[in-house]
Structure 1
Amino acid sequence: MIENTQTLKLHDIKDIVEIPDNSFLFLVLISIFCFILLIILIVFVTKMIKRKKPNRRKEYLSNLKNIDFSNSKKTAYEISKYSRLLAKTPREIKLANELIEELDKYKYKKEVDKIDKNIKAKLSTFMESLDV
C-alpha cells in the first residue's frame, strides 16, 4: 500500500517552472549607465577647471596698466614684451610694432632719458584698442 501512494501523482501540485534570469542584462545596463554618467561628470569637471584658469591676457593688460615709468630701460622692455603678447588683430599688431620701434632707442643704451609723452600716448592708444 505504501508503494501505491508513492507512485500516484498529486493533481493539485504543479510542475517546477523555470524562471528567466535577466540579472546579467541588468548588470550590463547598469554598467553602461554608470560609464556614461562618469563621462558626463568628467566633462563637466574639466569645463569647470578650464573656466577657473586665469586669463593671461588680463594679467598682461594689468601689468601694462601698472607699469612704473621711473626706470626707462626696464619700462621699455616690459612694454615691448607685453605688447607683443597682447597684440592679436592686425590693427593691434600694427600699433604694437609702432610702439616697439619707438621704444628701441631706450633699450640698447647704457643710460637713457625718461620716456616721452609721445610714447605714453601711443601706449594708451594701444591699450584702448585691445579687446580683453
Structure 2
Amino acid sequence: MDNLKDIKPLVAITDNSFTYLLIVLFIALLIALVTGYSGWKKIQLKRRNDKKRIALKILKNLDFNDSKTTAYTFSRYASALVNDGNVIEFEQINTALLAYKYKEKVEQLEQDLIEQIKGFVDV
C-alpha cells in the first residue's frame, strides 16, 4: 500500500453556460422585438394609407346635389386628408358647411363652396 499516491483535492471548474444561455436569450428577444416593431409599423403605415385612399375615393365621388349629405360626408372623411399645409382651408370649408348640417331643409351648396371642396380634394 505504500505504492499508492495521494488523492488530490477537487479542482473548481468554472461553468459559464448559464451566462451564455442568458446572452443568447437576450439577443433572441431583442431580435424578436425589433422584428415585431418593424412589422407593426409596416401594418400601421399600410392601414393609414388605406384610410386616406378610401377617404379620397369617397370625397371624389361626392354628390353635390344633396347638400346635407355632402356636408356630413366631407366633414367625416376630409379629416383623414388634413395635414399642416391644408388645415386652415379645411377649417374654413368645415365652418361654411355648418349652415347645411343641422337644419331640416337646406338650400343647394353655393358654387364657390363646391369649388373649394373640389380644390381641397384634388390637392
Give the TM-score, by structure 2 length. 0.71
Structure 1 alignment gaps of length 5 or more: 1-5
Instruction: Point out the structure with max Rg over C-alpha.
Output: 1
Runs of 4+ with deviation above 6 angstroms: none
1:41-79 CA-to-partner distances (Å, cap 9, x unmatched) read 122112202211300444433332343445321220121
How far did residue 116 of structure 1 move? 4.1
- Where in structure 2 are there 5+ consecutive unaligned residues? none
Confirm or deny: 8 A CA contact 2:93 2:116 kept in the other structure. yes
**Which residue in the other structure is 2:81 paired with?**
86
Alignment partners' CA distance in 2, 1:58 and 1:16 = 80
Query: 1:96 deviation in Å?
Result: 0.9
Q: Under a length normalisation based on structure 1, what TM-score does the superposition of the two structures give?
A: 0.68
Out of 93, 108, 120, the position equivalent to 1:114 is 108
Total equivalences in the alignment: 119
Cα RMSD after superposing both structures: 2.8
Structure 1 position 47 matched with structure 2 position 41? no
Identity %: 24
Residue 93 of structure 2 aligns with an amino acid whose one-letter code is L
Aligned counterpart in structure 2 of residue 77 of structure 1, from 42, 53, 72? 72
Structure-2 change in CA distance of 1:61 and 1:17 (3 Å): farther
What's the CA shift for 1:121?
Answer: 1.6
Match of 1:3 in 2: none
- Residue equivalent to 2:14: 22
